[in-house]
Amino acid sequence: MLVRLMYASRAADSVDQDELLAILKQSKSGNATSGITGVLCFSGGIFLQVLEGGRMPVNALYNRIAADTRHRDVVLLSYEEIGERRFAGWSMGQSTSRG
């Protein structure tokens, strides 16, 4: 069963461009192994991320993400069963803005 999870959070003050690149690199590697796809958006100190994949791997990843000190105020925006992926070709796509 596939699920799609979307959350938002506020970046910790320590998150800069280098840290963001490290997050993306780690996500692309780990997500490919776990069969998770998605996209990470970052703008104005706010993260918005969508994760897609099997229920167990997505839940486990979200729990790790929620405990990560590189952000705070993590809010689950949606969680739903899906018939197909929207981000099937992206182990972790990205959209960033410095604004």
pLDDT by residue (tens digit) across 40-67? 999 999 999 999 999 999 999 999 999 9
As a whole number, mean pLDDT of residues 14-31 equals 85
- Asked if residue 43 lies in contact with residue 79, where contact means CB atoms within 8 angstroms, the answer is no
pLDDT of residue 48: 95
pLDDT of residue 54: 97
User: Is 99's pLDDT higher than 70?
Assistant: no
User: Is 82's pLDDT higher than 90?
Assistant: yes
User: Is 84's pLDDT higher than 90?
Assistant: yes
Instruction: Please count the other Cβ atoms lying within 10 Å of the Cβ belonging to residue 21.
Output: 12
The Cα angle at residue 63 between residues 62 and 66, in degrees rounded to 5: 80
- The tokens describing 84, both together, are 């197909």
- Is 66 in a helix, a strand, or coil? helix
Long-range contacts of 11-14 (CB under 8 A, 24+ apart): 11/42, 11/45, 11/46, 11/47, 11/70, 11/71, 12/69, 12/70, 12/71, 12/72, 14/70
Q: Which domains does the chain have, with CATH numbers?
A: 2-88 (3.30.70.100)
The reported pTM is 0.85
